[in-house]
Structure 1
Amino acid sequence: MLGVLKATLPDERNAILVLRANFLGTVDFGAKRISFDASLVGSRILQFTLTGDAAFRLYQGANPVFLLTSGGFHPAFRPPANADLPTLRRLTLALAQGGDFSLTLSTYLAVTSNTVQFGSRLDLFVRLPASFSLVGFLSFDALFQFNPFRIQVQVAAGVAIKKGNSTKLTLNLNLALSGPAPWHANGEGSFKILFIKIKFRVERTFGGGAAPQPLPDTNVRPLLQQALEDRVNWEVEQPVNRTSNTVVLRVQEVTNQLLVDPSGALVVRQKVVPLAYPMERFGDARPVNGNRFDITRAIIGVDGANPIDLSGSGLQEVKDYFSPGQFRRMSNAEKLSAPSFQQMRNGVRLAGLAGYAGGPASAKAVAYEQIILRDLTGSAGSTPLPPAPSASVVVPAQQYQQLTKNSAVGRSTRSFERRRPSRKAPDQIFWDEDDYLIVSTRDLSPLDGTASFPNEAQATAHLNQLLQSDPSWAGELQVVPAYQLNVPAI
């Protein structure tokens, strides 16, 4: 979708705000992707020029992405590589532009799966008499947490007096502010006059007020049980390597039952919580009555004869993407650097149902009756020849495949003709998730006795457990992707 979005407020004759955004959007239902990119062109507020870029990404399926931004991101944030983002300009308002005086305001606002980001910067230039000039800036970058409300802001400011290209006086300040209840300011500053430079530190705590309210309690267990009981979260997985077809003669309309293929599997998955993962939070709440859930056993056919009891290898792992920031406490640095979505266990595949869901398969040779007709009338004065005896002829497999291509068997979604890859199809591309290791911060050697982890969230959770059991490990261990160490995944 290619287009232009225009807005003039309050009306054409009294145009205080004029917006013109050229946009390009793509909606790919097959790939489950939506993307939009927009740029401001010919826009203004009063007589001041307004420029900047915006982007939106919503990817589902493999490697999901969610982000919405106007003007870019926090300087420390690394957007997902597969988001395919262009270079985004800050939303910039040119308040004054000239050779002697320039004042520019730029800003950004971004929302991702882990963060809410907002920032702004004001740049000033003033030409002074006698070849002097004044250059200054003021900026801040903020990260928000809404429940409980918390904000962390990085503020920077600087001003300099120059004569030509020589700096005569400078003043700089960098300050980190977090709060509320209380607010804590920590930073450093410096000023320089000619050849004299002085540095100073700032650290203050103020506005104690009431202590921050804890997260509300949420009982996750019934939510998970409800998801597992929901018919929508159960599916029948068809056999992968099978060319024959199961023929259903009649199916009664029973909405709470599934028709399981004897050679297939039963799969249950949910999106409430990642399984086998210790949760520290549940969205904007604190989990109670259990914070780690898993499916370790399944019994099929409890009320019938010969129930199937599955555990261990009978319950194969099923994964889906979760946002780690919804289930663990993360620092602002982790929110900016951790992957937005990671593959984690969300269900199981109940395999090995062949002896329960149906009888054994049987092979049947397809044959037809062959009758060769002869001349029964015969010539004049001759005796008619009797017909040749009929014979049963087995259809060769290759011929059978050709004959059934356009039949009901061939048109079935389970048939070999429909399931085999096209000869013109390109080679399949597979995406392997990065493995993570817990290593020493001194020499990056892997921690003894620990294997690799399938994602960063589980590796960090294991590291937190180590630190709780032995606080002396603090500062001695870190989590890194295995490929960065050139270590083969275990």
Structure 2
Amino acid sequence: MAGTIEGLAAELALIFAPLAERAANGTPDLLLEWVGLRTFDAAAGSARLASALVSCTGSAADLTALAEDLVEAVTADDGGAVAATATALLTKFAVTVQAVRDAADELRTLSADPALSAAQRAEVSAVADEFVSRVLGRLLVEYLEVRFPPLVTALMATGVVEVVDQPPGPAGSLVAAHRQKTLHADRLVRLVSDPVGLVGEVFRWGQPDFDGLALFTSLKALLRERFDIPAEILQPPGSPAMLEAFGFSAEVDPTLSPPGLTVNLRMPAGIQRNETLALGDWEVILETDAAFQADLEGTLRPLLDVELTAAAGTVDVTVQVSFARSPTAEPFLLLGSPGGSRLEARSLTAGVALAIHLDTAQGRVSLDPELKLALRGGKLVISSAGGDGFLITLLSGIHLESVVNTDLTWSPALGARFTGSGTLQVAIPVHVELGPLNVQTLYLVAGLAGSGVPVELSAGMSAQLGPLSAAVDRLGLAVSFSLPTGGGNLGPLDVGLAFKPPTGVGLAVNAGVVTGGGFLKLDPAAGEYAGALELEFAEFLALKAIGLITTRMPDGSAGFSLLLVITAEFPGGLQLGYGFKLIGVGGVLGLHRGMRLDAIMEGVRTGAIESVMFPHDVVANAPRILSDLKAFFPPEDGVFVIGPMAKLGWGTPTIVTVSLGIIIEIPGNIALVGVLKVALPTEDEAILLLQVNFAGAIEFDKKRIYFFASLFHSRILTISIEGELGLLVAYGDQPDFVLSVGGFHPAFKAPPLPFPVPKRISINLLNSDVGRLGVDGYFAVTSNTAQFGAHAELYLGLGAFSVEGHLGFDALFQFSPFTFVIEISAGVSVKVFGVGLFSVSLEFTLSGPTPWQATGSASISLLFFSIGVDFDITWGEPRDTALPPINVVPLVKGELDKPESWRVNNPAGGAPLVTLRPLAAGEADIVLHPLGTVVVQQRAVPLDIRVDKVGAEAAADVSSVRVVVDGGGLVKLSDAADMFAVAQFQNLSDAEKLSLPSFEREHAGVELAADGTAMTSARAVRRSARYEQVIIDDLGSTASSFVPYNAALFQHLLAGASVARSPLAQTERVLRQPFADGIVVTGDTYVVAATRDNTARTGVFSSQAQARAHLDALVAADPNLIDAVHVIPAMEAAP
């Protein structure tokens, strides 16, 4: 009975939890949004309505608190408290329901307020009449969604629960857009007594006037709410209604009598759906797995007459219903008593499955039922605990455990199948001293493995040898018993003996001068061995080491990898001069270990990088340190890691310390990692403590350099300081430049970064229960933008009163002409019981400085009255702040005059026909091969696109630059390209600067060739092949010379011989495999497409700027296209 009362109280609290949350958040007025009513101000009665809403949420909060008190009273088995709390809970339930009714009455009173229009009074009156049912109905529906999701699915499918998105009212209306959730209790009764009649009444299914709209509306909400599948209802004029969803459609078929549905599956589909119904510590699980071929059509007639038409293919459906123990539940007893001898299990699952296979080509259906029973975490424990004195003395503290995992399945085709694993483990405490050796525990472990029975006889022991202490666990003998076919070494039985290595070894030393210890962890099953050591010598030298050996690669194959971190620290430091001292040295060594730079960058943020940089207390923190090292340096065959480290300090006592390491991956990349710490006056009694974790990397394969730093556990007195910095310089095919201190502008779309997006630089000046005051900011520079901003927040709460305020800005800058745009927002509000009493807000955009312009809005609110004003103010004199314009053509000509802008490409293959002599050292002329090409390329400005400026200076002479070939016997073969920051050459809007790529590949020059070289033809060659025949009749002596070498070595030497590497042999190899293996990744391309359906209107452009230039030309020729076309990536264009 106690469990029933406790459960009912918890469920009642869960029903009213949404109202209680609004009381805790101070937002009781959101109840009006639930019922689709905007917050409004009336001349009278508004205060009473606000009070009624506060009473609703406050009473619900009291109700949930009483439910928690009742649970505690039941748990404490306090009968008097249970009766009193249960009575108070029922009373509070009635008070809560009455509070909802009172709020409805206040709404009904406000519906007669003359301050409202006639239409508004009618809307408020309609909501007041349904206020109670809407609020209580929504509470019940949301409760069912949380507790019984599969039940809500069934109720939505039958119309008992309705979820409808209601649109807003017209201008001036008080009706707001809202989601209405309704539970029809009368339909719930009909669902049990007359389900056919209910479906016919709600959806008109099976009736002559069935139009599908009600059914499709319910299905649309069901697909969206329960399966996250988008759907739309279509009803073209003169056509039946249709439901279009992702991958399938349903349409009303009026040719049937009564009307039915036609369903079409347009694409191959797979459905995997798991639904769980929680029942306390147990749960019911429904699993569905279905696979359908494309073009499956079906006709559905009332009531459930289904006719399928499909192309040749199959339909596979598997449905399984299971009753299982919840994963979060505690192990439960099957037999015995807690703490004593018992049979328990952590998980027990029983289920039935049905697999259906439909072959549409043969018209054959096969069914395969299956029963399943699974026991997980089963444990048989035999213990002397709880026994009488005789048993305790007899068993001497013996403890026996057997772990069992079992699966039992049955099907008509295969019958019963039993699989499982079991291990019997007996631990006998003995505490026997054999001289310096102390044997604490004996282990007897037996189990099943394949066709044998492995048995372990081992012991856990320790020894004290003067200042040295040692301990080992489970060291002993491994015995295997099997019954092989043909007998074994003991008649029919085969017995194998092997040494059982310990699973762990620990050492400790305390010899005065030398103190410390270490351990070894052995896990042969996982192929992993780890250890840690920490020794201190006379307070002069602290030696630390941690190592990890793995004999299994990540793919499960056999292999070997080693990771070792060794540090030597000098507590007093070795003086270097000028106040600097060497505190420690160390290094990282990895054999067959790679380096994960993304994990290292994340470790900078989390502080895990300290596991590499002179870690503290390595023995106690070994599990965490080993986990971090595995993440930073995972096993990778053929890769090696080496990294020297040093720790320096400055000041006496040490004020500044820096730990620095350079980690080199061979072959691979280079990383710089470190920790910088500043502590004043000392680290133990620091008033100022700044710790900066940082890491940088050079990635040669990706051609980029980057750096990331993070403030970690930093403070001034008790004021915490946080923030991060990131720098990226990419110099390859995708060049980029990003510098961020504290993040980016909120509207900026950051490019893919090799480190986490930096967090704001923030200072929490006050952080307590009654008040909070924090300031944060950022500064960022990219190839397109300069941006910075700051934000401050204030909160003070004293009982029912609270004050909240904020002030912030986000700025973008342009340097020529010098302009800026700053978005500023500020506000302060005073609340009582979560309801706004007074507030002031200001939001505007400030631009300038010649002239200054401020555009925005401001508002003041007092209780239920508010006054708002929009403003647009301009002041100051317009002045030209632009730099003097620049002539672009001389820049381009100057670049083209440079010798390095010209280069020749000799013919790549074929017969060159002509051989060029090497040029003398003094000759600077460029010699073009008759079949070669010459590339003329400059980097001053991009070609063939609009050029508005060069950097911060406007273009004075041209609006675009193009290179043409005029005579000289040369023709243009192609355009030479290079990467340009387009924002440095075109006037872009702030939105474009924030969204466009930092660099794009644009035309930078041309590739030229002699006229006619592109037209070549094969040539026929007639040649007589003559050869000389030589007979060697002494095969024995020739073959005997290779006898000392095995065949594999001979083949290896043969592959590297001169004959194998000759041009003739290479030509034959190329003919057999003409294409080199590899994947070439090209850059993004763009097209000008129609905005209506994204169909391409032009060819493909190599850069977005070129596509925009073509778009501008199209719009200039036909202004009607201004909203009809846009630039999109080529991969997004419709086929």
Range 9-18 or range 268-277, more displaced: 9-18
CA offset digits 1:379-420 (Å, max 9, x no partner): xxxxxxxxxxxxxxxxxxxx999745557x79xxxx879999
Alpha-carbon separation, structure 1, partners of 2:1032 and 2:1081: 61
Alpha-carbon separation, structure 1, partners of 2:1132 and 2:922: 55
Does 2:1121 match 1:456? no
Alpha-carbon separation, structure 1, partners of 2:732 and 2:913: 29
Alpha-carbon separation, structure 2, partners of 1:361 and 1:252: 35
1:77 is aligned to 748
Aligned partners of 1:436 and 1:480 also within 8 Å: yes
Aligned partners of 1:325 and 1:335 also within 8 Å: yes
Code of the residue aligned with 1:152 in structure 2: it is V
The runs of 5 or more residues in structure 1 that have no matched partner are: 301-307, 376-398
Identify the match of residue 211 of structure 1 among 872, 879, 891.
879
Greater relative contact order, per chain length (Cα 8 Å cut-off, separation 6+): 1
Match runs of 1:54-453 below 5 Å: 54-81=725-752, 83-128=753-798, 130-206=799-875, 208-240=876-908, 242=910, 250-297=918-965, 299-300=967-968, 308-310=969-971, 314-352=972-1010, 370=1028, 372=1030, 403=1058, 427-437=1078-1088, 439=1090, 443=1092, 453=1101
Alpha-carbon separation, structure 2, partners of 1:89 and 1:374: 80
CA offset digits 1:130-161 (Å, max 9, x no partner): 42111211110000112221111000112222
Q: CA deviation at 1:428?
A: 0.9
CA offset digits 1:28-60 (Å, max 9, x no partner): 234321122221113334653211122111112
Aligned partners of 1:262 and 1:353 also within 8 Å: no
Alpha-carbon separation, structure 1, partners of 2:804 and 2:835: 12
Aligned partners of 2:776 and 2:790 also within 8 Å: yes
Aligned partners of 2:777 and 2:789 also within 8 Å: yes
Code of the residue aligned with 2:804 in structure 1: it is V
Q: CA deviation at 1:196?
A: 2.8
Code of the residue aligned with 2:860 in structure 1: it is F
- Give the direction of change, closer, same or farther, for the CA distance of 1:35–1:454 in structure 2 (3 Å limit): same
- Give the direction of change, closer, same or farther, for the CA distance of 1:424–1:133 in structure 2 (3 Å limit): farther
Aligned partners of 2:1111 and 2:1127 also within 8 Å: no
CA offset digits 1:418-449 (Å, max 9, x no partner): 99999998631312423132645xx467797x
The TM-score, its normalising length taken from structure 2, stands at 0.35
- Give the direction of change, closer, same or farther, for the CA distance of 1:123–1:228 in structure 2 (3 Å limit): same
Range 228-237 or range 340-349, more displaced: 228-237
Alpha-carbon separation, structure 1, partners of 2:929 and 2:815: 48
Alpha-carbon separation, structure 2, partners of 1:188 and 1:422: 71
The TM-score, its normalising length taken from structure 1, stands at 0.76
Q: CA deviation at 1:485?
A: 5.7
Q: Which of the two has higher C-alpha Rg?
A: 2
1:382 is aligned to none
Q: CA RMSD in A?
A: 4.2
Code of the residue aligned with 1:101 in structure 2: it is G
- Give the direction of change, closer, same or farther, for the CA distance of 1:39–1:401 in structure 2 (3 Å limit): closer
Aligned partners of 1:143 and 1:151 also within 8 Å: yes
Code of the residue aligned with 1:64 in structure 2: it is P
User: When you count helix as a share of all residues, which structure comes out higher?
Assistant: 2
Q: CA deviation at 1:70?
A: 0.9
The runs of 5 or more residues in structure 2 that have no matched partner are: 1-670, 1034-1053
Aligned partners of 1:114 and 1:325 also within 8 Å: yes
Alpha-carbon separation, structure 2, partners of 1:457 and 1:243: 40
Identify the match of residue 35 of structure 1 among 706, 722, 728.
706
How many residue pairs match? The answer is 443
Aligned partners of 1:235 and 1:266 also within 8 Å: yes
Identity, in percent, stands at 31
CA offset digits 1:429-488 (Å, max 9, x no partner): 312423132645xx467797x655443223333444566677x65963563314586334
Query: Residue 295 of structure 1: SS of its match in structure 2?
Result: coil
1:396 is aligned to none
Alpha-carbon separation, structure 2, partners of 1:354 and 1:147: 48
Alpha-carbon separation, structure 1, partners of 2:1023 and 2:780: 65
CA offset digits 1:40-85 (Å, max 9, x no partner): 113334653211122111112222221110111000000123x344
Alpha-carbon separation, structure 2, partners of 1:154 and 1:478: 31
Code of the residue aligned with 1:455 in structure 2: it is S
CA offset digits 1:173-214 (Å, max 9, x no partner): 2110000011100012333333333332121111x2351233
